[in-house]
Amino acid sequence: MKLHSSSTQQYQTVTGYFDGGVEINAVPYTFSLTVMPETAPRPWPVGAFEELSAAHFEAIAHDAPDVVILGTGARQRFVHPRLIASLSERRIGVECMDNQAACRTYNILMGEGRKVTLALILQAPAA
């Protein structure tokens, strides 16, 4: 599904999503990633929700976002509080949602000028 008809060069905008992937400024990505409005997408070494560890969130904490939007795949899942302790200690909020909702929410918050990180777990669609 396309979200925007045009991309911006200044900000990293989700322009579409599809099974197993996302488009950031019309560039497709099929691996898990993190992105912030002014930071290009970066690979995030998470292959599946079950692989999440505290270290994955500690890496995000270094960027000091106001909020993290965690896309947990095709369905919404909730991460254990001990995994996001490094974010909670810094008063960084974490919202868990399915990837499509995460992409839409990221764009809204980015458009409001918020310092938001989108962390998406992307998996290849089941054959």
CB 61 within 8 A of CB 92: yes
**Domain boundaries in the chain?**
31-120
3-state secondary structure of 32: coil
Give residue 47's pLDDT.
Answer: 93
- DSSP character for 115? -
Characterize 2-34 residue by residue with b for buried, 16 or more Cβ atoms within 10 angstroms of its Cβ, and e for exposed: eeeeebeeeebbbbebeebbbbbbeeebebbbb
Backbone torsions φ then ψ of 86, nearest 5 degrees: -65, -30
Give residue 10's pLDDT.
Answer: 80
Give residue 6's pLDDT.
Answer: 44
Give residue 16's pLDDT.
Answer: 97
Give residue 76's pLDDT.
Answer: 97
Calculate the CA dihedral of residues 97, 70, 117, 8 and round it to 10 degrees.
-50
Report the sign of the C-alpha dihedral through residues 80, 54, 29, 15, in that order.
positive
31-120 classified as CATH 3.40.1230.10: yes
Name, in order, each residue with C-beta under 8 angstroms of 12's C-beta and a sequence gap of 6 or more: 24, 25, 35, 36, 37, 38, 39, 40, 41, 110
Name, in order, each residue with C-beta under 8 angstroms of 74's C-beta and a sequence gap of 6 or more: 98, 99
For the chain, 127 residues long, give each residue's pLDDT as a single digit of tens: 445 444 445 899 999 999 899 999 999 999 999 999 999 999 999 999 999 999 999 999 999 999 999 999 999 999 999 999 999 999 999 999 999 999 999 999 999 999 999 999 998 666 5
- DSSP character for 49? G
